[in-house]
Amino acid sequence: MRRLISGDRPGHPLADLLMLALLVGLAFAPFLFPGTKSMAAASRICIFIVLAASYDILLGYTGIVSFAHTMFFAIGAYAVAIPLAQGGPSWGAIVGGELAGAAIAAVLAGLIALLSLRVQKIFFSMITLAVASLAGIVAAQWRDVTGGEDGLTFSLPAALGPGFRMVQEPFLGVRFDGRLVTYYLIFGVCLVLFGLMLRIVNSPFGRVLMAIRENEFRAEALGYRTVIYRTIASAQAAAIAAVAGGLMAILLRYNGPQSTLSFEIMVDILLMVVIGGMGTLYGPALGATVIVLAQYYLQPGLQAASDAVTGWPVLPQLFHPDRWLLWLGVLFILIVYFLPAGIIGTLRRRVR
């Protein structure tokens, strides 16, 4: 276990417990929370954990502020979606698409990082914003390939379809069908990627990334060529985001600008990282879980609360399901105010 998490424990008894609960919850999600909606939520949590954690390598560990992370997410998604939409369902298209997406994202991220070699941080952020906007335009306009704003719908190999049965009889009330295979495919890939990221940030390389975040000038004076480190970190984060994007396409059997490329997703990623705690990897995992759960369950939860207080003054209005974004906002403000280093970040500081 210690090797698998690269010797990096969440670092506080409560944080350990939360992460263990998250791991167990996701590992047995089809059995603990059966149902189409909860399966979709669990899959999305897995994918966003990887996406937010890969962004944390940039933001939390290296101190790079990039707004192009969704672009790499989308590159991975299109790299899987395009061959599936054009060539029909095949495992070759999925595996090849994932690998090609990761490679393209890594090269592109490396180029952006190298091109922005000499600019100050704020200008680097602006460049990533411009590149991300450009990618949005390309995705929307290149209709023959990307399907434009409508996106691409495609089918998956039979083993990932709802009609597929591994075992005829349900076990513990769960059907062993293609949806289960899809979930465990997503879960397994995400678990491996998360372990890989833990390894990266705890390696000698990862320590240098932290040194760059702390004091880039000093890292250079010690003999580290920080441009190379930033470039490689960008490429790694982009490749991982691209793989997560491919999983998103598989989950939805669809990909379009709204599902992987929109700026709202970029904002979500930022919130996940900040709420959970920058520079901890576990924090963004928790942040991703909180936000995805809020997106799926805050509205119905408010409906229940609103129904419970029917007849009271003002309260039903306050808990009206349409107010869910307001409550999400209140939650963010409370977390940022009381836990300035994020949930896991603040817990870790208590231990120190």
Partner 1 sequence: MGSAVLETRDLTIRFGGQVAVDRVSCAFHPGTLTAIVGPNGAGKTTYFNLISGQLRASSGSVALRGRDITRMAAPLRARLGLGRAFQLTNLFPDLSVLENVRLAVQARAGVFLDFLSLAVDRTGLTEQAIGHLRRVRLLDRAGAAAAVLSHGDQRKLEVAMMLALEPEIFMFDEPTAGMSVDEVPVILDLIEAIKAEGDKTILLVEHKMDVVRRLADRVIVLHNGALVADGEPAEVVASAIVQEAYLGVRPADG
Q: Interface residues with partner 1 (CB under 8 A)? A: 6-7, 199-200, 202-208, 210-211, 214-215, 217-226, 228, 232, 236
Q: How far is the CB of 177 from partner 1 (least distance, A)?
A: 37
- Nearer Cβ to partner 1 (200/269): 200
- Nearer Cβ to partner 1 (137/228): 228
* Angle (nearest 5°) at CA 282 between 278 and 284: 50
Q: How far is the CB of 188 from partner 1 (least distance, A)?
A: 20
H-helix or E-strand spanning residue 152: strand 152-153
- Nearer Cβ to partner 1 (118/314): 118
Looking at residue 191, its amino acid is: L
- Nearer Cβ to partner 1 (176/224): 224
Distance CA 88, CA 85 (A): 6
H-helix or E-strand spanning residue 153: strand 152-153
Q: How far is the CB of 154 from partner 1 (least distance, A)?
A: 34
- Nearer Cβ to partner 1 (30/60): 60
Q: How far is the CB of 308 from partner 1 (least distance, A)?
A: 46
- Nearer Cβ to partner 1 (224/296): 224
- Nearer Cβ to partner 1 (44/213): 213
Name, in order, each residue with C-beta under 8 angstroms of 98's C-beta and a sequence gap of 6 or more. 76, 79, 80, 242, 243, 246
CB count within 10 Å of CB 311 equals 6
Distance CA 75, CA 92 (A): 18
Looking at residue 329, its amino acid is: G
Distance CA 90, CA 94 (A): 7
The length of the chain in residues reads 352
Q: How far is the CB of 218 from partner 1 (least distance, A)?
A: 5
**Token pair in block for residue 143:** 């209709």
Query: What distance lies between CA 54 and its chain's CA centroid?
Result: 7
Q: How far is the CB of 215 from partner 1 (least distance, A)?
A: 5
Q: How far is the CB of 278 from partner 1 (least distance, A)?
A: 11
Q: How far is the CB of 7 from partner 1 (least distance, A)?
A: 5
| Greatest pairwise CA separation for the chain in angstroms | 69
Q: How far is the CB of 339 from partner 1 (least distance, A)?
A: 17
Distance CA 186, CA 50 (A): 11
Query: What distance lies between CA 236 and its chain's CA centroid?
Result: 14
CB count within 10 Å of CB 223 equals 6
Contact 1, 336 (CB under 8 A): no
Contact 77, 255 (CB under 8 A): yes
Strand-pairing partners, residue 177, are 165
- Nearer Cβ to partner 1 (100/200): 200
- Nearer Cβ to partner 1 (117/134): 117
